[in-house]
Structure 1
Amino acid sequence: MKKHLIAAAFSTAMLAPAFVTTSVNAADYVIDTQGAHASINFKVNHLGYSFVVGRFNDFSGDFSFDANKLADAKVNVTINTNSVDSNHAERDKHLRSPDFLNTGKYPQASFTSTSVEDKGDGKFVLNGDFTFNGVTKPLAIDAVVIGEGNDPWGSYRAGFTGSTRFKMKDFGVQMDLGPASAYVDLDLVVEGIKK
């Protein structure tokens, strides 16, 4: 399964070298969705001709992280599937229908990590249980640590990016747009504020 690593759309606080430090202990973080420093983006091939891209505007979560012990990291995320946004109101209405997200019956999707494989140099594979459309299956996310440290407002932050791909039919999606449109690519930007 081909997976793409993306390192785009990072906030200044995540990238500023002046704030990067080395972690000494595991810490718990809340994902910074209020400051819009995190995002869940998706891309689906449209009939083999182009792509439909979008995002989920409403989600929440937390993670536990120590850069020196990546294997001990834990992540929990809950997504409000009604918040799907592909920049087209009629298409979003269809995406919320039983053909795709079935938000009337399953208004949430979630990911709970189960293990982490440290690949070295800040790269890791985050394994977990992904619940989508009422179906729970294992999902692996290729991830990269971006950095951590103090921000200008008195908080401590840590962030990473991740990407994964899953087959819609594996999660009971009814609509069949052909083999070119069978998969969803998810690209994640996660920045957390230390609790």
Structure 2
Amino acid sequence: MTPLKTLVASLAFAAVAAPALAAPQTFKLDTNHTFPRFSYSHFGYSTQLSRFDKTTGTVTLDRAAKTGAVDITIDTKSVSTGSALFNEHIQAPDFLDTAAYPTATFKSTKVTFDGDKPVAVDGVLTLKGVSKPVTLKVTSFQLMPHPMLKKDAIGANATVTVKRTDFNMGKYAPNVGDDVTIDIAIEAISE
């Protein structure tokens, strides 16, 4: 093969191989290890902690291009406060109104990286039919082969504080805190 043909063949191979090396990777949420939690002040006496037990979605990352996408759906009827009575109270129209709004969603608009790790995710949180822009701060992130499944997996923790009055859930505010901190722990497996 002449040097020119070798160069052309090398460039053609590089053009085909480069996109494969930088291809985005999609991860499906592991529903057994993904739990959005929320906390708020209860009359200043204590910080109440609750969570949602059913969450689905995907995370797509292209670490080479430093881009990504997050799409999460939370089953609001799966709220778990530790009390069956309070679960019903939180699902009522004054708060989550799960009969009318059985899901909450978060859809990213931008993922910010520091090096090869995401550190913030801008997006739109829709809760009780109200959509607001929020920024999740990523407090930890890991991407590595899952030791049991032998596939790439990610894990992350992220947090944001919102005002429940912004989502038409202001009953008892400010005595029951208007500020609600949402923490989400996710694990997801490569598809």
2:93 aligned with 1:95, yes or no?
no
Q: Note the residue ranges of structure 2 that are not aligned, 5 or more in a row.
A: 1-20
Q: Which residue of 2 aligns with 1:14?
A: none
Q: Kindly provide the amino acid, as one letter, of the partner of residue 66 in structure 1.
A: D
- 1:19-30 equivalences under 5 Å are 25-30=23-28
Q: Tell me how far 1:147 sits from its aligned partner.
A: 3.0
Percent of paired sites with the same residue: 28
Greater CA drift, 180-189 or 95-104: 180-189
Q: Number of matched residues?
A: 170
2:43 to 35, 41, 47: 47
- CA offsets, 1:81-130, max 9 Å, x none? 01000101111110000111011111110000001222447351100011
Asked if residue 184 in structure 1 is aligned to residue 180 in structure 2, the reply is yes
Which of the two has higher C-alpha Rg? 2
Tell me how far apart the structure 2 counterparts of residues 165 and 180 of structure 1 sit (CA, whole Å).
Answer: 15
DSSP-derived class of the 2:95 partner: coil
Determine the structure 2 residue equivalent to 1:9: none
Letter in 1 for 2:111: V
Q: Could you tell me the TM-score, scaled by structure 2's length?
A: 0.82
Q: 2:142 aligns with which of 146, 150, 174?
A: 146
Instruction: Tell me the alpha carbon deviations over residues 49-93 of structure 1, each in whole angstroms, 9 at most, x when there is no partner.
Output: 1011111001100010134443x1100000110100010111111
Q: Larger deviation: 142-151 or 157-166?
A: 142-151
Matching residue of 2:153:
157
For the aligned residue pairs, the C-alpha RMSD in angstroms reads: 1.8
Instruction: Give me the whole-angstrom Cα distance separating, in 1, the residues matched to 2:121 and 2:115.
Output: 13
Q: Taking structure 1 as the reference length, what is the TM-score of the superposition? A: 0.80
Q: Is the 8 A contact 1:27 1:65 kept in 2?
A: yes
1:113 aligns with 2:111: no
Q: 1:148 to 1:154 in 2, by over 3 A?
A: closer
Unaligned runs of 5+ in 1: 1-22
Are 1:173 and 2:169 matched, yes or no?
A: yes
The answer for the alignment partner of 1:122 in structure 2 is 117
Query: Is the CA contact (8 Å cut-off) linking 2:143 and 2:152 kept in structure 1?
Result: no
